Amino acid sequence: MDRDKLQHMSSSDLRQIRENAIKRNNVVFETLCDELLEDRQLAEMKEAGQNVVEFHFVCEKGANLDAADDGKFTTGNWLVNELHCESAVKIGAKLALHESRDARSYFQGSIIDWKKEPGAAAGKHTIRFTVNPTNKTLKWAGEAGSEKGYKFG
């Protein structure tokens, strides 16, 4: 099955294929389904005039989280659509890192900048966020089966 065939499937079918890919440890199909579902979510969001107001990521505590001398932090690399990043800086969207989707965030803050990094996959780029940290922990928001979640507003 290729991207074109998956693209024409319903979102619920894509979620089921994604779950099956996870069970079979098929990272290629899991990633492809994630990308297609995110593209649809972005289109719906744009249609409704909404922005991502919170980004949530499952991340081992402190992994690839770099502190700067000015108190700000840079996150590890995340596969995020650049359109989300543009509006995140403008509206001061929140970013939260969680050890699991069930746990409150162990790190959180307001996104103040982002930059694109070359990704591991051919033609893919990842995003590193610069964050002004806050103390108020956040509850997970987003898809139940994903390692990243978005809250729209």
pLDDT in tens, 124-135: 678 999 999 999
Phi, psi torsion values for 108, nearest 5 degrees:
-160, 160
Neighbours of 19 (CB within 10 A): 13
Query: Within the chain, how many helices (H) and strands (E) appear?
Result: 4, 7
Amino acid of residue 8: H
Long-range contacts of range 140-144, CB-CB < 8 Å, 24 or more positions apart? Answer: 140/56, 140/96, 140/98, 140/101, 140/102, 140/103, 140/104, 141/54, 141/56, 142/56, 143/37, 144/101
- pLDDT for the residue numbered 86: 86
DSSP 3-state of 41 = helix
With CA atoms as reference, report the closest residue to 33 among 20, 43, 48, 23. 20
125 - beta bridge partners?
118
- pLDDT for the residue numbered 120: 59
State pLDDT tens for residues 21-32.
989 999 888 888
Q: Which residue has the tokens 């998956």?
A: 6
Q: Helix H segments across the chain?
A: 3-7, 11-23, 27-48, 82-91
Tell me the mean pLDDT per 10 residues along the chain, length 153.
Answer: 84 90 89 84 72 92 87 91 87 95 95 86 77 96 79 85
